[in-house]
Amino acid sequence: MLLQAGGVQGVAPLPVSFLYTEAPRYDATAALKGGERFPSGAALELVSGGRKRALAPGFAASADASVSFDGQRVLFAGKQQPGDRWQIWEMPLNGGTARRIVSENQDGIAPFYLPGDRLVYSRRSQEGFQLVSVAPGGVAPLQLTYGPGNRVACDVLRDGRILFEAPHPASAARDLYTVYSDGSGVGTYRCDHGRDRHAGRELLSGDILFETAGRLARFTSSRAIQLEVSLPMGEFAGPVAEIAPGDWLVSYRANGAAPYGLYRWRTGQVSPEPVPAAANGAFQPVLVRAHAAPKRHPSGLGDRDGANLLCLNVYSSKLRIPEGSVTAVRVWALDDRGAAVEIGQAPVEKDGSFFVQAPSERPIRFELLDRTGKSAEAEKGWFWARRGEQRVCVGCHAGPERAPENAVPEVLRRTTEPVRLKMGGAK
């Protein structure tokens, strides 16, 4: 039964119920700076059969809806009182009392269900928003991301990885990244950086659809770069909800002076069709229906200190590093005060391979050195690895689409023991 329902005249209802966030203003870039995305408030609305009701009428603010795999429950970020911090809540979609999943002194936003009766969300910290996985009731929280910057969850992919947006170190824009549910294997989804990308969602085809500068683009399995989506004139605000292949529920406005509304748009259609929604700003559409649970990622983290990091060939790179020019790698880390400190060096073999053990759960970056000890190339940003993680990189900024040569790297022919690096210097 729909409570506080109100009809919407003049438009055909969608064949599926949906949720959306009603807000006078939505600043999607605010999370990049750790700010407030809904400075004038927000409220989740449930629409079914052309009629709508407030999902959580007793809340001062609510947003970021995520529907459970069985289509019966919804996670959301909410504030009970105007002065509260954003917290993660869950409630049944057929009505009932909301229960707080996580109770913290920091903001929690953008929750998503994970397989195995866990969820992931973004929690504010001194370094910025970080991804955290937790069981219902706040049991056994696990931080998944580390380092400076704000990281906001976008989706949970069908292969079990978590898709999130974060600043790209080479520009002021955001990019899309993935990480496994145990915090291992972090990396950018594609390496054609430079454009602002956010609000990514996985389609039924496996493509990743996202917003970039008010338009929509996608990543496909067959291309290493983003592909633009042919759209009507106007501005789109991600994320998008997929009704069926090529049939999307989108937040759209015809021009910058108009408010965003919800529209149904089919591939090749000249103009989007308005659907029942608010007139003063409608964002974050989510369909209310059962959907397949992602694969449960079996963690391969070993019970040992540090993380083993193997680079197969530093010359496999988009940076065009001259063959034979690199003799060593210097490893940097952020200390507890946030200052960059050198933690040691390791030799780079003639084939470009090196093998180190670095501190885990700590931001690190690599710098390649030439024969004179001068910097040949250096990472601009920070990454991390989990305790017990074993990670193999094809090269230095080679891109996730690059496959390695079928050869044993020289560093492993010489030794299978990594150069152990710790805070305070190499050991």
| Residue 324 confidence (pLDDT) | 94
What are 252's strand-pairing partners?
236, 261
Count of Cβ atoms closer than 10 Å to residue 253 Cβ? 19
3-state secondary structure of 112: strand
Please give the structure tokens belonging to residue 59: 């809340």
pLDDT at residue 303 greater than cutoff 50: yes
What is the average per-residue pLDDT within 168-188? 90
Q: What is the Cα–Cα distance from 392 to 187, expressed in whole angstroms?
A: 12
Q: How confident is the model at residue 50 (pLDDT cuts 50, 70, 90)?
A: confident
User: 24: which residues sit within 8 A by CB, 6+ positions away?
Assistant: 40, 41, 280, 281
**Given this model, what pLDDT does residue 200 score?**
97
**Which residues lie across from 367 on neighbouring strands?**
330, 378
Domains of the chain: 6-287 (2.120.10.30), 307-426 (2.60.40.1120)
Distance of CA 92 to the CA centre of its chain: 26
Provide the pLDDT confidence category of residue 238 given band limits of 50, 70 and 90.
Answer: very high
pTM of the model: 0.93
Q: What is the mean pLDDT of residues 23-48?
A: 93
Q: Which pLDDT belongs to residue 214? A: 94
> Is residue 1 very low, low, confident or very high in pLDDT (cuts 50, 70, 90)?
very low
Q: How many residues does the chain have?
A: 427
The pLDDT score that the predictor gives to residue 176 is 96
8 pLDDT above the threshold of 70 = no
pLDDT value, residue 4: 37
Residue 257 pLDDT level (bands cut at 50, 70, 90):
very high
**Bigger pLDDT: 192 or 11?**
192
Question: Which residue matches tokens 């042919």?
Answer: 230
Q: Which H or E run includes 414?
A: helix 410-414
324-356 pLDDT tens trace: 999 999 999 999 999 999 999 999 999 999 999
d(CA 19, CA 77): 13
Chain segment 146-159, per-residue pLDDT in tens:
999 999 999 999 99
List the one residue out of 109, 90, 181 whose CA is nearest residue 151.
109
Sheet holding 235-244, edge to edge: 235-244, 247-253, 261-266, 273-274
Pairing of strands 425-426, 61-67: unpaired
Q: What is the dihedral of CA 11, 13, 14, 18, to 10 degrees?
A: 110
Q: Are 153 and 120 in contact (CB under 8 A)?
A: yes
Distance of alpha carbon 129 from alpha carbon 152, whole angstroms: 7
Q: Which residue, 288, 426, 291, is CA-closest to 354?
A: 426
Above 80 in pLDDT, residue 277? no
pLDDT attached to residue 5: 39
Return phi, psi of residue 177, to 5°. -130, 165
Model pLDDT for residues 110-124, shown as the tens digit of each residue: 999 999 999 999 999
pLDDT given for residue 14 in this prediction: 83
7-11, 86-90, 289-293, 349-353: least confidently modelled range? 7-11
Q: Pull the structure tokens for residue 225.
A: 């770069």
> 313 and 405 in contact (C-beta within 8 Å)?
yes
Q: Is 261 helix (H, G, I), strand (E, B) or coil?
A: strand
- Asked whether residue 366 carries a pLDDT value surpassing 90, the answer given is yes
